[in-house]
Structure 1
């Protein structure tokens, strides 16, 4: 199996690579559209800022590539947010794969939300093998609203989408690559799709 990690101006790619290596699932980090299209699985990671990340994707036409993919695609953190319709961060028009908007947490809440929080499962694909709702590691100041494509929710001042799913597209707000055993199980589930 060959996995592509989309390279763009966002951090955390190395952590994702290490997590896949622990699962004996080597990956290539690339912004080459041909390599991304040929991959069996695609991971769209991200720690960064929405408007500059979308600008990078558009300049290289990676926005069109991502939307056209038919194999399983997993967006992580900023990657998931960029798969939504719009982000308040930099007033950014995003990819529009998931029909929900990304908002900034209310000013009354401490941001970013950093630490472990529970994902309440709504759809089984990424969450197979969990007897109870698992805890994952979060670091974020923006959240995707709950919608028809919500695959898991998490509470932090309000209920938000901690996982999204539409056809072959999956997204998680938390960092599975930093979420110990729970994250490893989730990544394994994605690789088995």
Structure 2
């Protein structure tokens, strides 16, 4: 069986990373696009140079590392700035994602899952055999984000508004997982879907 490449996405605070962890426990190779995005900035000096050129040195620490939280707050408040940042980082990010998929395929993984927030926004859905969207009620999402990211409700709403509407993602997905219940019910739903990858 050749490997199945899955795109896993959803709105901020929907629980897609939880689903990725469940898939990993079941034997999938997880490629975390957010982690790759961080490493692209840290390991490719030209990317950081371009970020500094566009947004200024105020987002770089004294040790030369990017102040990700501050830059995030700054760009999420302005759609055009967010687009500028994405234009700098995304080409490098997707090149690396494709390389990681190839490495995982060569290593013999049967299921490869790319955990990425912006699959539809960036138009990369075609590189996947299937796209799974994790969906959740707004109230639950806000609660999860508050616990995880220590953002204000205003900042949370900005980030939610800056993403493609969840309904649109769900409409375009091959599979939708709704995460409004317990961790156990999420695990059950994810396991059931995982088994279908081998049909």
| Pair in the same fold by TM > 0.5 | no
Report which of the two has the higher share of strand: 1
**Which of the pair has more CA radius of gyration?**
2
Report which of the two has the higher share of helix: 2
* TM-score of the pair, normalised by structure 2: 0.35
Higher RCO (C-alpha 8 Å, min separation 6): 2
